[in-house]
Structure 1
Amino acid sequence: MGVIVGLDVGTTAAKAVAVDPATGWRTAATAEYHLASPHPRWQVQDPGELLGAVDSVLARVVAAAGDRTVDVLGVGTAMHGLIGLDDGLRPVTDLITWADTRSHAEAAELRREGRAAGLLARSGTPVHPMSPLTKLMWFGRNDAATLHGAYRWVGLKDLVLLHLTGWVVTELSTASATGLLDLTTRDWSPASLELAGVEREQLPDILSTTALLEVSPDAARTTGVPAGTPVNVGATDGPLGNLGTGAIQPGVAGMSIGTSGAVRTVVPEPRTDERGRLFCYALTDDAWVVGGAISNGGVVARWAAESFLPQADGTARDAEALALAATAPPGSDGLVMLPYLLGERAPLWDPDLTGAFLGVRHGHGRQHFLRAAVEGVCLQMADLVDVLDGVTPVTEVRCTGGVFRSELWRTSMAGALGRPLVPTDDAEGSALGSVALAVLATGRADDLAGALAQVAPPGGVDAPVEVPAEDVATYADMRGRTLDLLRAYGELAEHLGALAGARG
């Protein structure tokens, strides 16, 4: 057995991990790229820059492997991307990322018409501007020539597979995040295609996430991975994150917080909640990830640090802000932040929702505002876990992400959840999930747990975070009050939004 390489192509960076299961040797490489916003609500990327980063990280881990052969390459990417290709398979648009909300009017219309619940039940993807379905609707209304003129419409995963193998295909995990899939047939939904305004021939064929292709001669020259090396088409970053952290057992949810955040758990077949607040995406044919993603994660604490400590050194500001926040008591002496700086996805699904600090009094200082920002995110995630628990019981949460290196984040989240919170080693994250899925795809393991056991580093899971009982009680009271505040804030937020629009 030689080296297994896992690739994780995210929103702002590509990461590759190479693992030798026989010896435990491993190495990793990362390359960043830009997220551009040429117009309001647009969040796009240059396909050439992104694919150059893919080549770079693969070449670096292959070089580090030295004489070790590359047995298989597993591919994982962010979901919800959309890009148009011409008949020469060259891009005719930028990569339109999940963060692009230009189709907010189309998503709002589908919700207003009462069609969102049915679309979610059929496809597993909530109706939101992130979804390729609403993005294609936007093209139909604003750039019909590009919509109908594109030879193929593909996602980020499909673009990477095309680059590495020469094949125009997608896989079940990526397809399940488009809003265009029929979960029953596991093929493109004719009704959704009609709504999006595209033909079946404009979309790629859907493969199993364990399907294998081969590295093309062109890709071999730019990556150093030998031509003919098997390529596991893989899954998307969220489901692979659950696999990489071992959150694949019943009752165990995986939580990740970076700029945004998500919580997910693995179930044997597609399911969502009755009120349409959760997504359902594939990991394999018989392992599906149900959960939700928030738009306001670590970005909220970063904003608070920049706003309340503007003179602090940039590189040390976050740590200084967290240290100051820790001097305020749990509950921030009654100060509550509704942390919706970027609208919100699950469980509210409102891209225009605004945030607020509520309950401000004379005795509140910077430390209270900083702590309230952290607690606001934790309370939002706890609400999401409760929704998930209503679909499938959640008895433990495994958390990953740089924020959880902070004791304040760990204890605040554990207190808000009121459930065991177990930190995990997230150094490799979704990339390790790609490695494990590639092991399964090549028949070297019988199931996901066995595949992960072959490539996971020793250790990596800590003891549950300990939180005083009185703090858990404080957060339980806050959660109830925060939900009431959010309902009461709704009408006021509409007036504030209208006022901001008039001033703009």
Structure 2
Amino acid sequence: MNVLALDLGTSSVRAMVFDDKVRARRGALARRGFDLSIAADDSGTATLDADQYLAALCACLDELAEAGHLDDIGLVAASAQWHSVLPLDGGGRPLGPVVTWLDTRPAPPEGATGPLDPEAFHQRTGAWWHRFYWTVKLPWLRDLGLAPARYTGLVEYILTELLGEAPMSVSQASGTGMLDLAAMDWDPEALEIAGVGTGQVPTLAPLGWHGRLRPEYARRWPQLAGARWSPAVGDGAASNIGSGCVDETRAAVTVGTSAAVRLVQQAPRGATLPPLPHRLWRYRVDDHRVVTGAAYSAGGNLFAWARRELRLPEGAALEETLAGIAPFSGAVADPRLGGDRPPGTAPAGSGELRHIGFGTTATEMFAGLMVGVCTMVLSDLEVLESTVDHRVAVTLGGGAIAASPWWRRAFELSLAPREVAHVDDPEVGCTGAALVALGRADQPTG
């Protein structure tokens, strides 16, 4: 049996096929880039068109089908972006675009006060009352005059279109900031703050749930007609699993479009969760594990922006220009061009570049921005280690890390003296989603 794994990311949609040992099938990868709608005026707008996104995914599956790569697919897994929200009308159609994690416009209603006990709320949900989460996003969407009948995430909308029914996984639900992580049910106080009832948010997937394609899509891809579709895993959680960072001995530092540092811990339903430091979030991997960490709006997007705007070359030519620059030796940067991820509240446009002069080169400014991301990651890794009372090993991964050996070395220097490994697989999200769907998240691939 082969496994089809989907990566429903922010900047691209990917679909790839693994064999039963979770080894990628040669050539069985399809990708479509996808552009966020980002306001040029730094207002914080960052949205996606849900139906165009669905079309991009369908194009990937058409490509794999035409090449004969969808034969013998028994299971479909998905790694999907956390935190998105899509307002729907009574017929289940979008009332507007998908509001993504990168959108910094949502704000609490005037006079609203949030949770009665913010610290207890944070411990219970792993989240804060913050523009990033549905507790703020849903009232903000209503204030726009949309009058949604209900709300869903991007992945749930996509899967509902394909399957007819797609309850929300506990992993995706935890990314809304409204899930009680221990009880694995919607948190009553979070629902009250958001101003919604359980009928206005997605149904949660029961343990063991699987879906199947609707008839019209089964006709389009008859090879998938009998395949079971598993609940989606949040992309950060899937990346940890795919990187081999499956317990509290090894943290993952992943740099894709954004960046994050995360640690997975065992946490079955109803178990008492470890105390959560104020600076860190906590979400669900699945019914058996949680993932704790910090994330940043700057990652591969910053790398691409800086290389383009500073008119630097690509690939090996860029590495050659960086070769003579020692990390942490020149320009100092605050890389928060896209604003803060929670619990911070800095808006988009908060980036800074300091300690530059007339002799500073474009390459030195680029290096300063990249090192700024390393510095943020190290600071939160030290907090993350306080939750397990020991120094952890680290695995670096993600497409942006793979694209720049110089940036990888800068991370290694900043994280020393920890053991630092590097995973070359740019598709760790797909790998992790496949492992979770197969019930093999604790097992090595290969």
Task: Give TM-score, length-normalised by structure 1.
Answer: 0.79
Contact 1:17 1:432 in 2 (8 A): no
Letter in 1 for 2:78: V
Q: Secondary structure at the match of 1:206?
A: coil
Q: Which residue of the partner structure matches residue 235 of structure 1?
A: 233
- Give the Cα–Cα distance (whole angstroms) in 2 for the partners of residues 301 and 13 of structure 1: 16
1:160 is matched with: 158
RMSD (CA atoms): 2.8
Separation in 1, partners of 2:218, 2:5: 16
Kept in 1, the 8 Å contact 2:104–2:339? The answer is: no
AA partner of residue 19 (structure 1) = F
Between 1 and 2, higher relative CO (CA 8 Å, sep ≥ 6) is seen in 2
Q: Is the 1:250–1:266 Cα contact (8 Å) retained in structure 2?
A: yes
The equivalences for 1:255-294 within 5 A come to: 255-269=253-267, 271=273, 274-294=276-296
TM-fit CA distance, 1:115: 5.9
Q: What residue in structure 1 maps to residue 135 of structure 2?
A: 133
Change in 2 beyond 3 A, CA 1:321/1:116? farther
Q: CA deviation at 1:395?
A: 1.9
Alignment partner, residue 448 of structure 1: 441
Q: Can you give the 5+ residue segments of structure 1 that lack an aligned partner in the other structure?
A: 441-446, 459-504
State the identity %: 27
Change (3 A) 1:135 1:64: same
Query: Residue 420 of structure 1: CA displacement?
Result: 1.8
Name whichever of 222-231 and 13-22 sits farther off. 222-231
After TM superposition, list the pairs within 5 Å mapping 1:81-480 onto structure 2.
81-104=84-107, 116-143=118-145, 146-147=147-148, 150=149, 152-208=150-206, 210-269=208-267, 271=273, 274-309=276-311, 312=312, 316-317=313-314, 320-333=317-330, 335-345=331-341, 348-351=344-347, 354-360=350-356, 364-392=360-388, 393-405=390-402, 406-418=404-416, 419-440=418-439, 447-450=440-443, 453=444, 456=445, 458=446
- Larger-Rg structure: 1
Preserved CA contact (<8 Å) 1:306 1:317: no
Q: TM-score, with normalisation over the residues of structure 2?
A: 0.88
Q: CA deviation at 1:236?
A: 1.2
| CA distance in structure 2 between the aligned counterparts of 1:320 and 1:246, rounded to whole angstroms | 32
Amino acid across the alignment from 1:43: A
Structure 1 stretch 23-32 or stretch 134-143: which is displaced more?
Answer: 23-32
Runs (4+) of structure 1 exceeding 6 A deviation are: none
The structure-2 alpha-carbon separation of the partners of 1:72 and 1:303, relative to structure 1 and needing over 3 Å to count, comes to closer
**Structure 1 residue 305: Cα displacement:** 3.0
Deviations for 1:398-453, whole angstroms, at most 9, x for unmatched residues?
Answer: 1112332322111110111112221102232211122212222xxxxxx4223xx4
Query: Cα distance 1:205–1:95, how it changes in 2: closer, same or farther (>3 A)?
Result: same
Count of residues in Structure 1 that have an aligned counterpart in Structure 2: 435
Bigger Cα displacement from structure 2, 164-173 vs 340-349: 340-349
In 1: Cα distance, 2:227 partner to 2:44 partner: 40
Q: Is the 8 A contact 1:272 1:278 kept in 2?
A: no
For residues 45 and 289 of structure 1, the distance between their equivalents in structure 2, rounded to whole angstroms, comes to 26
Rounded Cα–Cα distance in structure 2 between residues aligned with 1:319 and 1:271: 46
Q: What is the CA deviation profile of residues 335-364 of structure 1, one whole-angstrom value per residue up to 9, with x for unaligned ones? A: 322222222226745336723233345654
Task: In structure 2, give the amino acid aligned to 1:126.
Answer: W
- Give the structure with the larger helix fraction: 1
Per-residue deviation, residues 109-144 of structure 1 (Å, max 9, x unmatched): 768x9865343222122343222221102123332x
- Flag the 1:104–1:66 CA change in 2: closer, same or farther, 3 A: closer
Q: Which residue of 2 aligns with 1:71?
A: 74
Gaps of at least 5 residues in structure 2 are none
Give CA-to-partner distance per residue, 1:163-183, whole Å, 9 cap, x none: 221114111001111111122
Compute the displacement of 1:250 (Å).
2.7
Q: Render the CA deviation track for 1:176-226: whole Å, top value 9, x for unaligned.
A: 111111223221122211111112111121125752122221222344443
